[in-house]
Amino acid sequence: MIADGRGAWRKQMNEPQVTPRATVGLIGVGLLGSALAERLWEHHVPVLGFDVESARRQALEASGGQASTSAADVFATCDLVLLSLPTSEIAQEVVTQNVAGMIPGATVIDTTTGNPEEMLAIGERLEQRGVNYIEATVAGSSEQLRRGHATLLVGGADARLASVQWLLRILGEKYFHLGPVGSASRFKLVHNLLLGLHRAVLAEGLTFAESLGFDPDVTLEILQQTPAVSGVMATKGRKMVAADYALQARLSQHLKDVRLILSEAERTGASTPLSEVHQALLQQAEQLGLGEVDNSAVIEVYRRQLTDGAT
């Protein structure tokens, strides 16, 4: 399905009947990176990975992958490499430090959520080396990706996508090709703006209901059967109710995303007052020591305010 507007986009459904290729390189084996590796192993695709943290490299090997001692080795060995890094600034550093040793004609697929301008700069630097660059940001948590339920937002030239469609179909339930490099990182910010606000609204609604004397479990069950339902209720609702903040996506990472959203909004002149409030909520959560737990912990800011207001 193709549509023309301010850039062509294409929706591609997952077609799991793929033929595994040679070893895929992976730089970054954190929450999302480890989920990428699991998707590849499930389809019998070997993985050579690197992470700056030795514990993550050990976990990769313990799970069935092969760990390298350096990013340079991964780039020199593999002609298809996935990046899964915390920020586009780090991705840019990794590329700059290793571009000279990359295989000409290789392809780098970047899943990092980052600054669109930095993503464009990465693409330009790789093009100079003769290396193809494709954005494939993930709309979904590491857990959703691991289960094969994530959506990929893809940016890159049409001609470059043909050779990696088999990989995209392994990694995501579906993907949308949004246009050239930069398109996916921009659209990911739109996605994360909405998703983050949905979480914050759910947290606010649940604590408001509690303040009115309603049981949070019952509140969630009823809301999921009304027009107020959202996908976040299914993925984060029970975690919020049970205060189960086992990690799926770090709260601090989403604060980083909100800062990127506000920066882009300032650049384009878009009005984002709700995101400004959301940034303040996430900053309060970090101050409560919740930056490294799951982003559903944003509800604790509301709970603290409710408790303080009752005393």
| Residue-wise pLDDT tens digits, 151-208 | 999 999 988 898 899 999 999 999 999 999 999 999 999 999 999 999 999 999 999 9
CATH of residue 230: 1.10.1040.10
Query: What mean pLDDT comes out for the span 45-56?
Result: 96
pLDDT at 308 over 90: no
Residue at which a domain ends, from 179, 198, 213: 179
167 and 19 co-located in one domain: yes
**What is the maximum span of the chain, computed from C-alpha positions, in angstroms?**
65
pLDDT at 42 over 80: yes
pLDDT over 80 (residue 144): yes
Task: Give the pTM.
Answer: 0.89
The pLDDT, as a whole number, for residue 4 is 34
CB atoms within 10 A of CB 13: 10
Contact 69, 60 (CB under 8 A): no
Domain at 133, CATH number: 3.40.50.720
298/273 same-domain check: yes
- Residue 130 DSSP class: T
| Residue 90 pLDDT > 90 | yes
Over residues 224-244, the pLDDT tens digits come to 999 999 999 999 999 999 999
Is the same domain home to 154 and 213? no
**Number of domains the chain is built from:** 2
Q: Which of 179, 210, 240 is the last residue of a domain?
A: 179
pLDDT band at 11 (very low <50, low <70, confident <90, very high): low
Average pLDDT over residues 130-149: 94
Q: Which residue bears the tokens 């050239």?
A: 180
Of 9-23, 129-143, 287-301, the one with minimum mean pLDDT is 9-23
Q: What is the mean pLDDT of residues 90-108?
A: 96
CB distance 183 to 7 below 8 Å: yes
Residues 303 and 157 in one domain: no
- Do residues 260 and 229 both lie within one domain? yes
Residues in Cβ contact with 277 at an 8 Å cutoff, skipping those fewer than 6 apart: none
Same domain for 33 and 172: yes
The answer to whether residues 141 and 60 belong to one domain is yes
User: 105 and 71 share a domain?
Assistant: yes
Strand partners, 24: 47
Judged against a pLDDT cut of 90, whether residue 114 lies above it is answered with yes
The model's pLDDT over 257-268, given as tens digits with 9 standing for 90+, comes to 999 999 999 999
Average per-residue pLDDT in the chain? 92
Distance CA 230, CA 208 (A): 17
Mean pLDDT of 83-89: 95
Exposure string (b/e) for 23-39, b if CB count within 10 Å is 16 or more?
bbbbbbbbbbbbbbbbb
Mean pLDDT for 281-288 is: 98
Task: State the pLDDT at residue 128.
Answer: 95
Residue after which a domain boundary falls, among 158, 179, 200: 179
**Domain span holding position 249:** 188-310
